[in-house]
Amino acid sequence: MSTRVTDLLQQFQLERLEVNLFRGESRDIGSPQVYGGQVLGQALMAAYQTIENLEVHSLHAYFLRRGDFNRPIIYQVDRSRDGHSFSSRRVIAVQNGEQIFTCAASFQCRERGLDHQSTMPVVPTPESLPDWSRPTPEVANQLPDMLRRFLNRERPVEMRPVESIDFLRRTASPARERVWFRIAEPLSDDDCLHRCLLAYMSDFNLLTTATRPHHGTYPIGQMVMASIDHAFWFHRPFRVDEWLLYDLESPSASGGRGFARGSVYDRHGRLVASAAQEGLMRVRRGES
């Protein structure tokens, strides 16, 4: 297994400090603060450590402060409720004595019920698409340092955007993105791990979808973005080491915030998960 995937899995091996207290390591992925998906995934893993024979079906989270990737994060789990078929957990993430994140997660025993879903959009297969998620070296040299650093880092997640990305001459476009993604190498059959990793991956691309109608109205690198809240629902079994399609749209941006939602489909067209997020979307002061 490659170093990049091994390192990702290491982040989800939380250290148990007490019965309901865990410590997780952070990583620098090229952004100014801890990547929100890392905190989502680790918080869910911490909650899973207090659950038996149930699987997560939803989580609702708020990002309260910027996390420092140079320091570990402490996760406090509150066992809110244990029922026959549902259990609830509340998780608080702490750094330097302050809450940086909080979430509530609900778990359910697997059962049968009524079944319907939306239809997966018709898109090219991931194998037919180039890796447009990274700029060429020539283009990268023309980007701001921070953006170039973020885009060029080796990632454990492979991405194949359906729509091409022009990193230099961006023009306004509909608030829609579709991207295939997966963990770069085969994983074990641990369902808990796959769900935590999908929570990790779900923070990619959501908020950037809300910027698409505004491309060309502000200089590249001048948009300040940060997740405010994040909700995620798990519908059907899946594997994150197989290609999944993230179908994203942003119905609104206003008041310095952007809102986006996404549907995750597997290759067979099954809707496996849904996401919604609102985040800060602000052009740096003094820029237009």
| Annotated catalytic residue within 227, 250, 263, 274 | 227
Is residue 277 flagged as an active site residue? Answer: yes
Number of residues that make up the chain:
288
Is residue 250 flagged as an active site residue? Answer: no
Distance CA 47, CA 67 (A): 19
| Annotated catalytic residue within 203, 247, 250, 266 | 203
Is residue 227 flagged as an active site residue? Answer: yes
Which residues are part of the catalytic machinery? 203, 227, 277
